[in-house]
Amino acid sequence: MISDNPNLKGTLGEAAVCKDLLRLGYNVFLEFGNHSKVDLIVLDENFNTIKIQIKAVNSENESVSVYSVKTCLNPKYNSIYTTEQVDVFAVYVIDKDLVFYVSAKEILQNGKSSKFRFSSSKNGQKKFVRFVEEYLDFKKALRDYTPHTQILKKTGDEIVQTTTLKVLAAGESQSGM
């Protein structure tokens, strides 16, 4: 059974998300091994990298819970994700064969677990309810994403001032006359 084998669940999730992103026209790169907090790297149309963590889950009572913790068979290796490590969480709902995308910023601001619903709750609550249908668009998940850039000066870096030489036209002097 799929739910008994976490490695099989992860593999199914990776395959489903890769298929979805490739169908959307993205270049997708897989992690070799299972040692990082990133499952896929995607290049957008400007060649910016987007780090994706995949969660494969089953729905329960018309909702799914997404955990912002990397769980391992050996609990001493469990850890919490950060926005520096992951840009987007891709969630594959196994029993519905559905992929949806949530920005890491949104997932991580909710603590260890975020819940998404497929239909309205029985008590009719609407406030703070997130519906899966609002997260089907990968580009929408990128709304909180800012490409990672090097902003810190490293030891040994030098500030270099560059100038552009002005090319003088025939008969023009440097004084502009």
Rounded mean pLDDT of 40-56? 93
Q: What is the model's pLDDT at position 70?
A: 74
Residue 135 falls inside a structural domain = yes
Residue 130 falls inside a structural domain = yes
Q: Would you say residue 152 has pLDDT above 50?
A: no
Task: Name 31's Cβ contacts closer than 8 Å, sequence gap at least 6.
Answer: 38, 39, 40, 41
The pair phi, psi for residue 47, each rounded to 5°, is: 65, 25
Residue 60 falls inside a structural domain = yes
**The length of the chain, given as a count of residues:** 177
Residue 94 falls inside a structural domain = yes
Residue 89 falls inside a structural domain = yes
Q: What is the model's pLDDT at position 8?
A: 87
pLDDT tens digits, 92-126: 999 999 999 999 999 888 778 889 999 877 777 76
> pLDDT higher for 9 or 150?
9
pLDDT-based confidence at residue 151 (cuts at 50, 70, 90): very low
Contact 145, 50 (CB under 8 A): yes
CATH number assigned to the domain comprising residue 62: 3.40.1350.10
What's the total number of domains in the chain?
Answer: 1
Whole-model pTM?
Answer: 0.76
Torsion, Cα 47 101 9 96, to 10 degrees, reads: -130
Angle at CA of residue 164, ends 159 and 165, nearest 5°: 135
Rounded mean pLDDT of 56-82? 83
Residue 65's domain spans which residues? Answer: 2-144
The pair phi, psi for residue 61, each rounded to 5°, is: 55, 45
Residue 70 falls inside a structural domain = yes
Q: Is 64 helix (H, G, I), strand (E, B) or coil?
A: strand
Q: What is the model's pLDDT at position 56?
A: 93
